[in-house]
Structure 1
């Protein structure tokens, strides 16, 4: 968004609270190769995705982990291995059968919610479905596999089934083309989008004063910046925390949008090994009696040829793990791996994300909570005079995604441009509009 405003010859300053750019997009190179601690997929590998043109022009390869645009999984269930906690692999036929049952349950949940005036959680909806259709209630190993499917669903929303809205869980727009893993990480995209911008790192904003004739922004260090307009792309968790003072206070409808949107937590514990000892599948799963006890590992070796597994806890489990030290968290992830692969060799190094406790994010991404309307995303995006709001939590169609954040940035840049031009009159701009050529995405499938 800032680059677009610069293109229109606006003077733009970006205030970044971290000592790096990217926010919840964070590619780490400490292993000697790139791994993403935050966002790592392009959800919707197609030309309709607003980020596709950027990724295509850069020639960045994608590894398609699923051709299915399901909101439940971003990994292809044709390439998996599930195990019970005794280390026994679950027969693929059973996993497929339970998967069909899970889809049937979700269909029944849609019927239940349409019959109810009040919203309910996904967990409550499951209970109602089981009461109505006892044959859908599974036992033994099949029940544990069903809990694993629920665990994956919770991972998509970064939240527990007890808090996810049954009325709104499927309201996001799904782009075609499935899901593509960024093989070289998202950092090249961030570097490209930030090129030529005046970015001030370690400038944590604590106050935003809105006046008719401008905006005054104050940082933690006492620096002040005055501008005609301001674009606020803060994570939802930071807005919820109240650590930033707005003067005057945000109107009630705007504050309600902030308060009533959910913000979930999904973390990554990235384990780097000196050799590959696991099956050649895209991910490994551990089934259990509860979704809290289930887990899954993304196999980066399949996509990148590096001997790396990524453990991805979400919801309450992610919160509990954040209370541990990095070493304890890595040991916990490795202990989950040892349950299914007893002869696993210890990792040679590891990385641990903490999006929930990171003061600069206070959460991973947004989701719909029970009894709150889906239009809260749009309410959060609506500008206040010369304050404009962007980010994944302002995207009604694509919340929780990188392309959702990017698309709102493009919209806000245009809104901001028009606002300034309306106030100060047309600017004399010498612009040759260039329509970028369509560049095909580089997609692999192993």
Structure 2
């Protein structure tokens, strides 16, 4: 199989995805019941609440749910014209529900090694009776160049992970995964073809998970900062991930979530914090919980008064933040064998359309998802139109299936998360520049009034949807039990004297366990 190269054309940036986002949202048959809430407060320039949550993604919605259940007056504002944030599900022409953002429940079993906790996303899915399907990682079909299929590429990957784990235990600096991959490949004396296979599987299983290149991922911190793994992974094959968002907002009153509120300025460290939006509205609150993606903070799209402290800015700047885009092609009839769920393309250029998902595996709604990450994703976003991306994907499919004439798809969806002004990328990863303390600092409040949540603040679960959800629970716990918002609790005389740091950590640790099991 010959490698495919895309010739990057000189063309202006295409914003079709952003335009389509607005079009898709408003054409959905299921009307977003929060869309009318905007009219409820436009007549007044100031809104007062106890807690203002900025961002209606998983972390913001979960924190709001817990606070409202405990009698805390809470308002959520969101810049988009929909809830969900980086969770974005659409119904296609052939009836398939596709997820343009987050798609997987990353594990449904008891955590390892404890075994006593369960992925909170899975708990919600079970409580809401949302159907899911398993996606075992070994359900994979690899496409190799002709007569170049190594028999032990999976074994190489396992050996490589063991090698990196041992090498980084005593390492003082955080070299990249690429550094260790090159050493490992040289130690094994891989042939050219074996190197293609080795780096292709690293692309699929490491770069794909982190949404960036090997040379940007810090290997030592990646190995040291390990979360709990919940085993078998599932997808929402019928409802899309939006079913979780719908469940979290099912009891929300009109006006409690306000859409199209683009935050431009946050003033804090005063009796009442104030938030100014692009439409001139002012929100005043005792506490602000900021849940915007790390990409928005990196882009400095929100002005802070006073400026954020240096330790917080350092964490924002040093944490990694990747791009994962999808090209989704749909047909009336599947022309490929739907036995396997994952496809992996092995070539000399694995970064170019190396990872695929066969969404037709469980029902007759033919769709193929092609994933591309990091710098390659950014190049494609900024140099290729949607039509050119589809053509490039079809060309690669023709190489993968040489005995089939690839038909034109009936529909296609191309994501452009790096150009989305409400995310500027996909999710966080451990960079070669960040320190262990940066991940802790990312989650810490500023001036005991400005709090932070979201997947990038989840030290052990960064980049995961359950990390986002748990971070919302963490900050709801902080507000209820540390800052005294729980009704009938003795309110401290000031935020700074609310509680000692030691007692704060004890309370958050134990109360979070209770909230996980709601």
- Place the TM-score, normalised by the shorter chain, in its bin: 0.7 to 0.9
Q: 1:147 offset after TM fit, Å?
A: 1.8
Q: 1:144 offset after TM fit, Å?
A: 1.8
In structure 2, the residue matched to 1:182 is 236
In structure 2, the residue matched to 1:110 is 165
Once residues 301 and 516 of structure 2 are traced to their aligned partners in structure 1, the CA distance between those partners, rounded to angstroms, is 43
> Residues 53, 130 of structure 1: CA spacing in aligned structure 2 closer, same or farther, 3 A cutoff?
closer
Other structure's SS at 2:216 match: coil
Once residues 160 and 118 of structure 1 are traced to their aligned partners in structure 2, the CA distance between those partners, rounded to angstroms, is 19
In structure 2, the residue matched to 1:265 is 323
Once residues 266 and 239 of structure 1 are traced to their aligned partners in structure 2, the CA distance between those partners, rounded to angstroms, is 18
Q: 1:425 offset after TM fit, Å?
A: 7.1
In structure 1, the residue matched to 2:282 is 224
In structure 2, the residue matched to 1:34 is 97
User: Is the Cα contact below 8 Å between 2:359 and 2:369 reproduced in 1?
Assistant: yes
Q: 1:358 offset after TM fit, Å?
A: 0.6
CA deviation map 1:71-112 (0-9, x unaligned): xxxxx22x2222236xx4865xx35x0111122122222233
> Residues 53, 9 of structure 1: CA spacing in aligned structure 2 closer, same or farther, 3 A cutoff?
same
1:411-426 maps to which residues of 2 (within 5 A)?
A: 411-421=474-484, 426=489
User: Is the Cα contact below 8 Å between 1:172 and 1:399 reproduced in 2?
Assistant: no
Moved over 6 A (4+): 422-425, 435-439
> Residues 304, 419 of structure 1: CA spacing in aligned structure 2 closer, same or farther, 3 A cutoff?
farther
Which of 40, 45, 49 is 2:108 aligned to?
45
Other structure's SS at 2:348 match: coil
Q: 2:269 matched to 1:211?
A: yes
Once residues 389 and 425 of structure 2 are traced to their aligned partners in structure 1, the CA distance between those partners, rounded to angstroms, is 18
User: Is the Cα contact below 8 Å between 1:381 and 1:394 reproduced in 2?
Assistant: yes
Unaligned runs of 5+ in 2: 1-62, 111-117, 492-513
Once residues 294 and 101 of structure 1 are traced to their aligned partners in structure 2, the CA distance between those partners, rounded to angstroms, is 22
Q: 2:197 matched to 1:145?
A: yes
User: Is the Cα contact below 8 Å between 2:473 and 2:515 reproduced in 1?
Assistant: no
Unaligned runs of 5+ in 1: 67-75, 429-434, 440-446
In structure 2, the residue matched to 1:344 is 406
In structure 2, the residue matched to 1:239 is 297
Other structure's SS at 2:84 match: coil
Once residues 436 and 411 of structure 1 are traced to their aligned partners in structure 2, the CA distance between those partners, rounded to angstroms, is 9
In structure 1, the residue matched to 2:469 is 406
CA deviation map 1:164-207 (0-9, x unaligned): 11112232313233211121211111011123151111111011
In the superposition, the TM-score normalised over structure 2's length comes to 0.76
Count of aligned pairs between the two proteins: 415
In structure 2, the residue matched to 1:288 is 347
In structure 1, the residue matched to 2:25 is none
Which of 350, 355, 369 is 1:310 aligned to?
369
Q: 1:275 offset after TM fit, Å?
A: 0.9
Once residues 123 and 392 of structure 1 are traced to their aligned partners in structure 2, the CA distance between those partners, rounded to angstroms, is 25
Q: 1:265 offset after TM fit, Å?
A: 0.6
Which of 377, 385, 400 is 1:325 aligned to?
385
Which of 46, 59, 70 is 2:129 aligned to?
59
> Residues 61, 427 of structure 1: CA spacing in aligned structure 2 closer, same or farther, 3 A cutoff?
farther
Which of 200, 213, 230 is 1:160 aligned to?
213
Once residues 420 and 353 of structure 2 are traced to their aligned partners in structure 1, the CA distance between those partners, rounded to angstroms, is 25
Once residues 249 and 425 of structure 1 are traced to their aligned partners in structure 2, the CA distance between those partners, rounded to angstroms, is 35
User: Is the Cα contact below 8 Å between 1:254 and 1:379 reproduced in 2?
Assistant: yes
Other structure's SS at 1:310 match: strand
